[in-house]
Chains A and B, each alone.
Chain A
Amino acid sequence: METVVKISGLVKSYKELTAVNDLDLEIKEGEVFGLLGPNGSGKSTTINCLLALLDLDKGDIEIFGKKMTPTAYDIKKDIGVIMQNVAVFEELTVYENIDYFCGLYITDKATRKQYVDEAIKFSGLEDFVKFRPKKLSGGLLRRLNIACGIAHKPKLIILDEPTVAVDPQSRNKILEGIIELNKNGATVIYTSHYMEEVEQICSRIAIIDKGKKIAEGTKEELKKMVKNTETITILACEMEGSLLGEINELPHVIESGLEDKKLTVHFSGGKHNLLRVLDCLQKHDVSFGRVYSELPTLNDVFLELTGTALRDQEG
């Protein structure tokens, strides 16, 4: 697979704050590449540098094998951008907005009309073509934002947190759309602080924090980086704290904890961990409520690599 994007040693600072610090990334053709990190981790700055919207302090960016600069119009024509904030004109209708942004790339009228119609169909905005953005719901507005970014059929699509403040139904629709765009041949760069979304759609993920890349790989590769392979949670557990010692002695247990009658046990490998914990509780006649067994998430990866949970850093 050809390399579509290559970022080498990227550094970008805002006065004393280093937003991106020596970042290297390589994104291959056909990938849905996820850039995961908490708010303020440097995702948007990376994207803005990638698009030459910001000057770089250090480093190089190559897209389609060519150096990316503000005047690299031959590169820009094949890039579609969907920014975090909705970038449409309130004065234009849905159709006019898509037509305008598509027209910045496609000058032939007939081709443009066809592309605009396809983008409208793709984003499910057929019934709203004459609506102005103000009349659209949050979800529809996001879909319009996406339609404006992809109407010209770009080879590389960059989505910077496109699902912020979107209801679950619209979010699913957007994610399905991204998968479809990828299936149609586009390489996708997707930034988000929602790990579930990244897990759902990305074939490869880079986790960044405080401007640095702390891990990169497929979600399976990333999850292998953590010791914790399974977490068992038991609610309304009426056990004595002294029993934790016995649980900690069980095979593969890394650590366990009891707080407000919630027992949490972390395992590193092994099979039938849940059965062993339940056996132990039964042996001591401990009553309990709901039981969960969870495989590691990207949050666990982030937690293990940075010492803080991804969600703790939000807001």
Chain B
Amino acid sequence: MQVFKLFLKILKKRLAPALLFTGIFILILASISASSSQSETYEPSELRLAIFDEDNTEASKLAIKYISKGNEIIKIDNDDDKLLDALYYTTIHYSITVNKGFEEKLSRGETDDLFTVKFVHENYSNALADSKMNEYVKTVSAYIKIGQDIETASKSAADTLSKHTKVTYQQDTKSADEIMAMFFQYLPYVLFSAIISALGPVLIVMERKEVKDRTHCSSLKPSNETLGKLLGAAVFVAADWAVFMIAGTVISGNSYAGKALYAVANSVIYALISAGIALLVATLVSNDNVLNVIIQVFGLGSSFLCGVFVPQEFLGSRVLTAAKVLPAYWYIKANNSIFSMSDVVFSKTEILKCFCIEGIFAVIVFAAAFTAVKMSRRSKKM
């Protein structure tokens, strides 16, 4: 227990890199997921308008009635200074004056100089008001062209334009399954990096010659020491893996059921392989900097070669042949099989084959790590 407690204490001090890998990955994935599932609904904005009717006809009144609809009309004197003040202090967004001769011009189908507008800056509010006036005028003009009189045309236009359409923005949305597939696709890189960057330094510290000698001079049996370390490593790997799994289900909004359980099992085997590699590397390396180089070279290298970052179908056949000696290749192959098959034609054979190969990798890595530990102990005694 003493070694196990020590392991956790040192781990606590060396957890930052692992937290960073875990946190950044979850954050990136969460933001991708959030943006892909986002939908927006159009809501019209209400403008504050000052409207003056210089034509004072039935048509101008109907036009003002239409423009006013959905906007707030502010009562204000038709005085240039007062209007400018109101626009400056944004008491109103826009001033519209229905020009004299509005009805007459519109009856003839003319659409120019029907309104005079005032505003301070060109912005979306003005554009919205402009668009509303243009829309109205064009619609009335259209109805007039088909033979309606100005009054009927104005009513018809107001009636037509008052019909609302609910607009929903649908962006490139991903299904929960796709998000989960993406999550498990990138998982080997972060899982490997998080495990090695946390376990590696802890094991290196515990393997330091001075403290190792002191420990070996004590009455602690080496088997108990190894057991304490393995238990500590297992607790961390399980906890880190669990954090990823919880994050995966939260981000995708899907629980692990059906074929997703195979992806979970796939990640368990890969976590074991990563832990074994951490054990092996820590035995062979006694320096944090070298460990970081290994994390980068092996982590990134195998991720690029094996199809973590670039899908396997885009990789050349030679690259894929070379990648077969790396566990990440079989992880991705299994992952691709899991998420590419529909629930109806789901076949376990290919997936289980990949699991077996990954399992063999795990056994080899752990065997190599234990052999390295034994050889290191023996060489120190020579």
Contacts A53-B216, A103-B2 supplied; 6 other A-B pairs, CB < 8 Å: A51-B213, A70-B216, A85-B209, A85-B210, A91-B9, A104-B2
Complex: how many Å from CA A54 to CA B382?
Answer: 6
User: Closest CB of chain B to A145's CB: distance in Å?
Assistant: 9
Q: Which residues of A contact B (CB under 8 A)?
A: 14, 48, 51, 53-55, 70-71, 73-74, 76-77, 79, 81, 83, 85-92, 96, 100-101, 103-105, 148-149
The stretch that binds A, out of B53-61, B151-159, B217-225, B315-323, is B217-225
Q: Which residues of B contact A83 (CB under 8 A)?
A: 210, 213-214
Residues B211 and A76 in contact, CB atoms below 8 Å apart: no
Pairs A-B, 8 closest by C-beta atoms = A87-B210, A104-B218, A77-B219, A91-B13, A103-B2, A73-B219, A87-B214, A81-B217
> Which residues on the A side are within 8 Å of B211 (C-beta)?
87-89
Whether B219 contacts A104 by the Cβ 8 Å rule is: yes
Nearest CB in chain B: distance from A37 CB, A:
20
11 contacts between A and B (CB under 8 A): A54-B382, A73-B221, A76-B217, A83-B210, A89-B205, A89-B211, A91-B205, A100-B5, A100-B6, A101-B218, A105-B218
Task: Given A91-B10, A91-B13, verify A53-B217 contact (CB < 8 Å).
Answer: yes
Interface SS of chain A:
loop
Closest chain A CB from B21 CB (angstroms): 20
Chain A residue numbers with a CB within 8 Å of B210 are: 83, 85-87
Quick one: closest A residue to B201, CB to CB? Answer: A91
Interface positions, chain B 4-43, Cβ under 8 Å from A, are: 5-6, 9-10, 13-14
On chain B, the number of residues with a Cβ less than 8 Å from chain A's Cβ atoms is 24
A81-B214 contact, Cβ under 8 Å, with A91-B9, A104-B2: yes
Would B381 and A55 count as touching, CB distance under 8 A? yes
In the complex, the answer to whether B381 meets A92 with C-beta atoms within 8 Å is no
A76 and B218 alpha carbons, distance in the complex (Å): 6
Instruction: Report yes or no: B213 in contact with A96, Cβ–Cβ below 8 A.
Output: no
Report the nearest A residue to B202, measured CB to CB: A91
Q: A90 vs B10: C-alpha distance in the bound complex, in angstroms?
A: 9
A77 to chain B, nearest CB (A): 4
Which B residue's beta carbon lies closest to that of A75?
B219
Q: Across the interface, name the chain A residue whose C-beta is closest to B212.
A: A87
A103 (CB) vs chain B CBs: closest residue: B2
Query: Measured between alpha carbons, how far is A103 from B1 in the docked complex, in Å?
Result: 9
Could you tell me the distance between the alpha carbons of A14 and B382 in the complex, rounded to whole angstroms? Answer: 8
Residues of B within 8 A of A (CB): 2, 5-6, 9-10, 13-14, 205, 208-211, 213-221, 380-382
C-alpha gap A161/B221 in the complex (Å): 27
Contact B220 A53 (CB under 8 A): no
Q: Please report the C-alpha to C-alpha distance between residue A89 and residue B214 in the assembled complex, in whole angstroms.
A: 11
Complex contact A104–B205 (CB within 8 A): no
CA–CA, A89 to B380, complex, Å? 20
User: How many whole Å from B15's CB to the nearest CB in chain A?
Assistant: 11
Residues of B within 8 A of A70 (CB): 216, 381
Whole-angstrom distance between the Cβ of B378 and the nearest chain A Cβ:
9
Are B215 and A104 neighbours in the complex by a CB distance under 8 Å?
yes
In-complex Cβ contact of B213 among A76, A87, A88 (8 A): A87
B9 adjacent to A55 (CB under 8 Å)? no
Q: Which A residue sits closest to B218, measured CB to CB?
A: A104
Q: Complex Cα distance A88/B210, Å?
A: 8
Chain B neighbourhood of A89, CB < 8 A = 6, 10, 205, 211
Nearest-neighbour CB distance to chain B for A298, whole angstroms, equals 28
Nearest chain B CB to A59 CB, angstrom units:
15
Pairwise interchain contact B214-A149, C-beta atoms closer than 8 A: yes
Expressed in whole angstroms, the Cα–Cα distance for A258 and B111 within the complex equals 126
Query: A55 to chain B: which residues have CB within 8 Å?
Result: 381-382
A32 to B13, CA, bound (A): 40
**Cα of A55 to Cα of B216 in the assembled complex, Å:** 13
How far apart are the CA atoms of A77 and B381 in the complex, in Å? 20
Contacts A85-B210, A88-B211, A89-B205 given: A51-B217 contact, CB under 8 Å? yes
What's the least CB distance linking B291 to chain A, in Å? 16
Point out which of B9, B213, B219 has the most chain A C-beta atoms below 10 A from its C-beta.
B219
In the complex, chain B residues whose CB is within 8 Å of the CB of A148: 214
Q: How far is the CA of A104 from the CA of B219 in the complex (A)?
A: 7
- Taking CB atoms, residues of chain B closer than 8 Å to A48 are 213
Residues of chain A with a CB closer than 8 A to B218's CB: 76-77, 101, 104-105
State A54–B380 Cα separation when bound (angstroms). Answer: 7
Say whether B381 contacts A76, CB under 8 Å: no
**Please, which residues of chain A bring their CB within 8 A of the CB of B381?**
53-55, 70
Query: Shortest beta-carbon distance, B373 to chain A, in Å?
Result: 15
**Residues of A contacting B220 in the complex (Cβ-Cβ under 8 angstroms):** 104
* A53 near B213: Cβ-Cβ < 8 Å: yes
With a cutoff of 8 Å between Cβ atoms, the chain A residues found around residue B205 in the complex are: 89-91
Task: Give Cα distance in the complex from A149 to B2, angstroms.
Answer: 16
- Using CB atoms, name the residue of chain B closest to A93: B9
Query: Chain B residues with Cβ under 8 A from A51's Cβ?
Result: 213, 216-217
CA distance A101 to B220 in the complex (A): 10
Query: Contact at B219–A76, with CB atoms within 8 Å?
Result: yes
Nearest-Cβ distance from residue A92 to partner chain B, whole angstroms: 6
Determine how close the nearest CB of chain B comes to the CB of A164; give it in whole angstroms.
13
